[in-house]
Amino acid sequence: MAETVEVVVGIIGRAHGIRGDVTIEVRTDEPERRFAVGAVLRSEDGRRTFTVTSSRDHSGRLLVHFDQLPDRTAAEAARSTVLVTDVDPAERPEDDDEFYDRQLIGMVVRSADGARVGTVSDVLHLPLQDTLELATDDGTRLVPFVAAVVPRVDLAAGELHLADVPGLLTDRDEDDPEADDADEDDPAGEDADRPGDDRA
C-alpha cells in the first residue's frame, strides 16, 4: 500500500449560528470531497478529530458542521484550527488539467526559453483565478495559473513552463526603459520649458 502524505485542507473560521456551524477557509481544490458528510479530519497537531455531519455553500463560503462542535461555544473555541487529512501521493484530480496544491508547491519554474526562474512557493486561490506564488532570486512574483501563462506542467520532471508573456516577471519600471531614457534626455523633468511657455 502506498504511503500517504498529510495535507492541509482548510482552517476553521468564525462560528455561524448557535448550532456550532463554522465557516471554513478552504485550502483544497476539492472541498466537496474533503468536506463530504462522513469525512474525518484532524487538527494539525493531531490532538483532535472532526467528523463532518453537514456541509453547504453559504453566501460564497463553505459552511460545515462537525460532530465534535455541538454548539456555538465549542465552535468559537475551535476557531483557527488547521485541518489536515491523509492522501495518496499518487492521487490526481479527475481532470488532467487540474492539480493539487501539494503537487505544484516546490516545482521548478522555467521561462519560455528554458531558463530557471525559481520555484513555486504557494498556490493562492483568488476569486477570479488561481495564482502561483514564485520564489525567485529577485523576490516573490505572482503568476496567474492559466493555460495562456502556464502552458505546460510536467509532474514527472517536477517542472512547469511559462509562456513568453511580456512583463510577466518584471516590474513596471523595468518594462518601460523608454521612460528612463526620457528622464535622462530631459533632466529638468516637469520644470522644463514647454512650447509656448515663456519664462523670464
φ/ψ (deg, to 5) at 179: -65, -40
Question: Looking at residue 125, what is its pLDDT?
Answer: 78
Number of domains in the chain: 2
Domain housing 106: 101-180
Q: Which residues pair with 12 in a beta bridge?
A: 24
Question: Looking at residue 30, what is its pLDDT?
Answer: 83
For residues 133 and 140, what is the distance between their CA atoms, to the nearest angstrom?
A: 7
Q: Tell me, yes or no, whether 55 and 111 share the same domain.
A: no
pLDDT range class, residue 181, cuts 50, 70, 90: low
Please report whether residue 49 resides in a domain. Answer: yes
pLDDT at 198 over 80: no
Question: Looking at residue 200, what is its pLDDT?
Answer: 33
Please report whether residue 93 resides in a domain. Answer: no
pLDDT at 150 over 90: yes
Please report whether residue 198 resides in a domain. Answer: no
Q: Tell me, yes or no, whether 119 and 155 share the same domain.
A: yes
Domain boundary among 87, 115, 138: 87
Structure-block grid coordinates of residue 65: 458542521
Q: Tell me, yes or no, whether 81 and 120 share the same domain.
A: no
For residue 107, give the 3-state DSSP assignment. coil
AA identity, residue 151: P
Question: Looking at residue 148, what is its pLDDT?
Answer: 94
Mean pLDDT over the full length of the chain? 84
Q: Tell me, yes or no, whether 123 and 159 share the same domain.
A: yes
Say which residues have a Cβ less than 8 Å from residue 2's Cβ, sequence separation at least 6: 88, 89, 90
For residues 58 and 63, what is the distance between their CA atoms, to the nearest angstrom?
A: 6
pLDDT at 194 over 60: no
Question: Looking at residue 178, what is its pLDDT?
Answer: 53
Q: Tell me, yes or no, whether 73 and 115 share the same domain.
A: no
Q: Tell me, yes or no, whether 111 and 71 share the same domain.
A: no
Q: Is the pTM of this model over 0.75?
A: no
Q: Tell me, yes or no, whether 79 and 21 share the same domain.
A: yes
pLDDT range class, residue 188, cuts 50, 70, 90: very low
Please report whether residue 18 resides in a domain. Answer: yes
Question: Looking at residue 2, what is its pLDDT?
Answer: 58
Assign residue 165 the CATH number of its domain.
Answer: 2.30.30.240
Assign residue 58 the CATH number of its domain.
Answer: 2.40.30.60
Question: Looking at residue 52, what is its pLDDT?
Answer: 98
